[in-house]
A and B are shown apart, each in its own frame.
Chain A
């Protein structure tokens, strides 16, 4: 199949990958439109990395089919590699090379034509804010700068589709903000961004989300749709001066499925959203007279936890134990 400009950036149907007996990715189907920011969420070991490796042409599917940038996953793996950018959680930079040498190296790998190289390199240095550090050894760069350099190297060849695997793990909020603005800027100019993250505030910045658990897609939609349609149960927000005590107490109440700290508040998952008043009076009886309880729209974290928790135990054996 040829790379048609009108084709969606990513289409997969019944995509499956098994490692021996273990099915890491199980009949996964979704579509990502061009220019979309698609957030791919899931617990550690759910099949995220295996899916990304198949989409990048690094691992062949056991069954199912799909295209990336219009090229077939099975027959066009080599072509796909030239039409995507990939940045992993462990930034794949060479520490002993300088900033500029890293860029040159990746420009070579991606086959950036010689007459375009100078201009692309300048663009990446400017975008990453590394113009003055071009001769620095990469090992000496702070993590936030390395991250921007890694992103720059991943887009040297102007790929239409960009895969980012936990690009902001451990990066501070200021740099995460700046990084996400870059992502939005690229999406506005037509680049499709496929990103995994454990930060739910970042997930809420995506156009659409897919949640994978145990190798299966368990939710797919906009952040708004996930919050409104996929939550199992209703969420009550509890505010009190003693949130930790409230969380422990709440879990002993009938009708409360779970309670967890959320910032400095507590989110309790209940069967009946009308339970707010009775929960408040139980808290008061339990010694938390200052507690206020209101039903809220669930946060993405609530949705994530409700869909994933109580499923399979953490730490599934198989091909991506170190994900």
Chain B
């Protein structure tokens, strides 16, 4: 069953087109990701889908209903967590949860049970009397998620939920998301972490408000134009400068710790071309080898192909 659908969804702010004729569809129980640069339109898309913001063109549907005209009914089905987690800093953990419970009209026995359940699975029970402003980043994130889940929504919209959150808290957070997926909750999440994007069942790349590509991680990697090559180097930065000169602007080159990594485009054997470019260097470099592309390669490749400039 289709849970989320955007049809030519657009939003303009004055002269700026933040989201430009976006079309996508998300199935029930799917983990769908929205990936893009700052200002790509991710947050605006989230707000349009949740009904917080009205579109200036096109339409969004959640669970088959138009978001714009049936906002009230849809709010009950959606949990939305904004980037700042939507918390009241001077209210305690318990007060924040109570506030959202009131907002969504969760009351009586259902409320008592749900609050206890959320406090338990988020590990927030020992902190219920602490003001939200005094929580660490990871705890704020879990509280924000608990508040978004108070009314047991079938659709969860998460706007960059793991920004500024440490690896341990990120792992905890993902465990919670997988539990929700097993309960058939649909999760629509934006992120700037491409290692997380590898877990999405499908993802969409947004750039300047437009959809650049959409598909499973494997399909997006398979469609990558070019071959990814890596070489160890004692001076990866100099190696990168050298490679950029030799390969030209169409082949973006980056540094990964002690290696250079290039998305090699154009004719000829990719590894040979990298080896040739590095062979005259005064610093030692390892043998270049072709490696499996990551979603970061896909992202970098897509944007560099667009701007015509290597990063």
Contact = CB atoms under 8 A, between A and B. Distances in A.
Interface string B192-233: 111100110000000000000000010000000000000000
Contacts of B166: 42-44, 198, 304, 308
Contact of A263 (B168, B178, B195): B195
A113 to B, nearest CB: 31
A264 B217 contact: yes
A315 B138 contact: yes
A169 interface: yes
Contacts of B175: 260
Interface in B103-150: 123, 126-127, 130, 133-139
A188 B181 CA distance: 47
Contact of A44 (B40, B169, B181, B237): B169
A305 B217 CA distance: 26
A301 B254 contact: no
B311 interface: yes
B311 A170 contact: no
A177 B261 CA distance: 11
B255 A177 contact: yes
A301 to B, nearest CB: 5
Interface stretch (A97-105, A199-207, A286-294): A199-207
Interface in B11-55: 36-40
B256 interface: yes
B91 interface: no
A314 B38 contact: no
Interface stretch (A119-127, A178-186, A229-237): A178-186
A261 B136 contact: no
Contact of A260 (B165, B171, B304): B171
B157 to A, nearest CB: 17
B167 interface: yes
B264 to A, nearest CB: 17
Interface stretch (B68-76, B275-283, B293-301): B293-301
A199 B296 CA distance: 14
Interface string B271-311: 00000000000000000000000101001100110000001
A247 B199 CA distance: 13
Which bracket fits the contact residues of B?
35 or more
Contacts of B299: 172-174
Given A172-B36, A177-B300, A181-B240, A263 B294 contact: yes
B174 interface: yes
Contacts of A323: 136-137
A205 B136 contact: no
B267 interface: no
A85 interface: no
B164 interface: yes
A205 B311 contact: no
Contact of A198 (B123, B160, B165, B217): B165
Interface string A231-253: 00000000000011001100000
Nearest to A248: B178
Contacts of B123: 313-314
Contacts of A247: 178
Contacts of B134: 317, 321-322
A223 interface: yes
Interface string A30-60: 0000000000001111000000000000000
Given A177-B311, A205-B257, A321-B134, A169 B169 contact: no
A130 to B, nearest CB: 15
A301 B137 CA distance: 18
B138 A314 contact: yes
Contact of B167 (A142, A173, A304): A304
B163 interface: yes
Closest 9 CB pairs of A and B: A45-B136, A321-B134, A44-B136, A143-B38, A44-B137, A315-B139, A172-B37, A263-B198, A204-B257
Interface of B: 36-40, 123, 126-127, 130, 133-139, 160, 163-171, 174-175, 178, 181, 192-195, 198-199, 217, 237, 240, 254-257, 294, 296, 299-300, 303-304, 311
18 contacts: A43-B136, A44-B138, A44-B164, A44-B165, A89-B164, A170-B163, A172-B38, A172-B192, A174-B304, A178-B311, A204-B257, A260-B175, A261-B199, A304-B168, A305-B168, A313-B123, A315-B135, A322-B133
